[in-house]
Structure 1
């Protein structure tokens, strides 16, 4: 399989964990496939939800990134030296129609520091021309909108963009170096978790686009682990001999 490989990194990031509301906002541990598609949509100049609301209010058509990029295959590999670390901050939201009609709102926020991921992007079911344009923009370092990690005050950078060939791995027990969904492995319950000597095992609930007409997103249990798993979905080997799956 042919794919585009790239690194994305930034000093700060925030991916809102939907279980926190009101005046406390906590980040997810990792970027989700949905947020990666939002970043790639910004590269292409496709609208996000803020632009869509603005254009609807003014009677204009909006081309939402999710409509164009939902079929893209995405694999997210967190860097082992950049395991989740956090910072605390306070934000003041001024009177805004969609946040607080009564005045300013003080919000406590727990975000991420030192983010670094390697992404693998494959065409999947995306339109040929859209994928070709995306690849061209990434290779040239172009972006129509400034890409960021969850909030526009947290810009990110693209590095080491290149075309790669991935070969399919045998479906034996192996370490999956990318994020993977709980239902894509046979059994992710580990009886004796020993986190010494650099071992890790993270579990997070990340949002993904829903195919249902009733809801826009679903929450999917997603893991990043140094323990061997039995995959139920195709696993690919990168040029650096890492095992990855597409979300």
Structure 2
């Protein structure tokens, strides 16, 4: 089979995925790893070049911009979809930054973020085949990082998993285990929890629905992020809920529904 879906668990002590619309007083971060940031990490693993010429997209983006990816906040590291955050203040000592006095930076930072990253790779593509091998071997040409080069990231070889997969078609109620693009209100699609006398417990329990507007790509004329409305939830959804590009993935350890975008 030429195409493979595999996942790897990406972790770091800290992360800052800078929001471009905040530039006064404090730098804020996106809560979730997003596609443009993940593509940069994949480029670093393969050894593709980053930004080095104004008005030109980096080599890694040109190579991977159409790569289907999925992202799942890793269980045990988030609380109802949200990662712990802290505020860090530091002094920028670069000469040009201090022309009008000492520049003090205030930055919101994620603490111990962790994500399960899914990629669909095609062995007939040289870069994608190399990426698959480097992930499986725990190798990276450049140091991957989460938003800033001092926030180095890593994955364990044992966390790299490959899956049998198929396009998902709902035949009953279901859950989506990754973040997914939200194209309509979801409240009416939630399956209400109920008590099961035979099991002696409540089924379809749910506790959260997390929303975030995240970068999904780039506007290649304006050289700025294109944003998408994303959700992440433990809700059970009704059978008639429809989403694009959902896949069923299976291996010895997992049987999940994820969205690749």
TM bracket (short chain): 0.7 to 0.9
TM-score, length of structure 2 as denominator length: 0.79
Comparing 164-173 with 145-154, which one deviates more in the overlay? 164-173
Aligned-residue offset at 1:16:
1.1
Aligned-residue offset at 1:205:
1.4
Q: For residues 36 and 63 of structure 1, do their structure 2 counterparts lie closer, same or farther at Cα, with a shift above 3 Å needed? A: closer
Aligned residue in 1 for 2:221: 213
Aligned residue in 2 for 1:107: 105
Q: For residues 144 and 77 of structure 1, do their structure 2 counterparts lie closer, same or farther at Cα, with a shift above 3 Å needed? A: same
Structure 2 runs not aligned, ≥5 long:
193-204
Structure 1 runs not aligned, ≥5 long:
none
Please list the CA deviations of residues 138-159 of structure 1 after superposition, one character each: whole Å capped at 9, or x if unmatched: 1111111110111111111112
Q: d(CA) in 1 for partners of 2:5 and 2:235?
A: 26
Q: For residues 72 and 103 of structure 1, do their structure 2 counterparts lie closer, same or farther at Cα, with a shift above 3 Å needed? A: farther
Q: For residues 138 and 105 of structure 1, do their structure 2 counterparts lie closer, same or farther at Cα, with a shift above 3 Å needed? A: same
User: Within 5 Å, which residues of 2 pair with 1:9-28?
Assistant: 9-28=11-30
Aligned-residue offset at 1:190:
5.8
1:73 aligns with 2:65: no
Aligned residue in 2 for 1:232: 243
Q: d(CA) in 1 for partners of 2:98 and 2:165?
A: 48
Comparing 134-143 with 163-172, which one deviates more in the overlay? 163-172
Aligned residue in 1 for 2:44: 42
Aligned residue in 2 for 1:164: 163
Select the residue among 64, 75, 82 that pairs with 2:77.
82
Aligned residue in 2 for 1:204: 212
Aligned-residue offset at 1:46:
1.6
Aligned residue in 1 for 2:259: 245
Q: d(CA) in 2 for partners of 1:69 and 1:96?
A: 36
1:131 aligns with 2:139: no
Q: d(CA) in 1 for partners of 2:70 and 2:257?
A: 10
Q: d(CA) in 2 for partners of 1:96 and 1:37?
A: 32
* Root-mean-square deviation over aligned CA pairs: 2.8
Aligned residue in 1 for 2:138: 141
Aligned-residue offset at 1:164:
1.9
Moved over 6 A (4+): none
Aligned residues: 233
Please list the CA deviations of residues 94-134 of structure 1 after superposition, one character each: whole Å capped at 9, or x if unmatched: 2365x66535321111111121111111037x971111111
Aligned residue in 2 for 1:178: 178
Q: d(CA) in 1 for partners of 2:166 and 2:211?
A: 27
TM-score, length of structure 1 as denominator length: 0.83
Aligned-residue offset at 1:7:
0.9
Please list the CA deviations of residues 191-228 of structure 1 after superposition, one character each: whole Å capped at 9, or x if unmatched: 99x9xx76221111111223542343212111111123
Q: Is the 8 A contact 2:206 2:235 kept in 1?
A: no
Q: d(CA) in 2 for partners of 1:11 and 1:244?
A: 26
Comparing 77-86 with 203-212, which one deviates more in the overlay? 203-212
